[in-house]
């Protein structure tokens, strides 16, 4: 069966963009972290957004955002510009920017290299003699 070429559109995943962290908190909004949660690398970072009225909302960061915050690859100013997405189940989370999600290369400029594989691909202990 021949390959069917179509325009690549990516997956939608039924995510709704709610706005940036800063926009959702609004003017005079605040952002807080929970120490115990932030220091627990087995969990995703939870962010508490507080609006000018003092009302708060707990929003979980994606795994990528959590890792970037903990590894000091992202600061609060960058987090404030991240988008909050909502999935089809109504669960909101802070997501990394989607820019650069697809990287293309011109195949004409690539020199092909042969892949060399060993003929022995199973560990000896898996082979019954």
**HSE of 82 in the Cβ direction (CA atoms, 13 Å)?**
24
Q: What per-residue confidence (pLDDT) applies to 61?
A: 97
Task: Give the helix, strand, coil percentages of the chain, each rounded to 5.
Answer: 20, 20, 55
CA nearest to 95, candidates 40, 24, 32: 24
pLDDT digits (tens, 9 = 90+) for 50-109: 999 999 999 999 999 999 999 999 999 999 999 999 988 899 999 988 765 566 777 788
Sign of CA dihedral 120, 121, 124, 128: negative
Quick check: helix, strand or coil at residue 17? Answer: strand
The residue extents of the domains of the chain are 16-95
DSSP β-ladder status, 16-20 and 92-95:
unpaired
pLDDT digits (tens, 9 = 90+) for 111-125: 878 777 666 666 666
What is the largest distance, in Å, between two alpha-carbon atoms of the chain?
A: 74
Distance CA 61, CA 44 (A): 6
Q: What does the mean pLDDT of the chain come to?
A: 85
Is residue 127 predicted with pLDDT exceeding 70?
Answer: no
Q: What per-residue confidence (pLDDT) applies to 114?
A: 76
What's the whole-model pTM score?
Answer: 0.67
pLDDT digits (tens, 9 = 90+) for 71-86: 999 999 999 999 999 9
pLDDT digits (tens, 9 = 90+) for 29-56: 999 999 999 999 999 999 999 999 999 9
Q: What per-residue confidence (pLDDT) applies to 122?
A: 61
Phi, psi of 79 (to 5 degrees): -60, -40
């Amino acid at each position: 069966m021949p390959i069917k070429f179509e325009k690549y559109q990516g997956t939608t995943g039924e995510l709704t963009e709610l706005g940036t962290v800063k926009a959702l908190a609004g003017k005079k909004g605040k952002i807080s972290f929970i120490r115990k949660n932030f220091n627990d690398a087995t969990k995703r970072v939870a962010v508490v957004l507080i609006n000018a009225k003092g009302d708060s909302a707990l929003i979980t960061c994606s795994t990528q955002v959590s890792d970037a915050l903990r590894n000091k690859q992202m600061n609060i100013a960058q987090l404030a510009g991240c988008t909050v997405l909502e999935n089809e189940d109504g669960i909101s989370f802070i997501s990394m920017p989607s820019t650069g999600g697809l990287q293309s290369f011109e195949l004409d400029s690539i020199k092909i290299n042969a892949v060399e594989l060993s003929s022995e691909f199973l560990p000896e202990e898996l082979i019954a003699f």
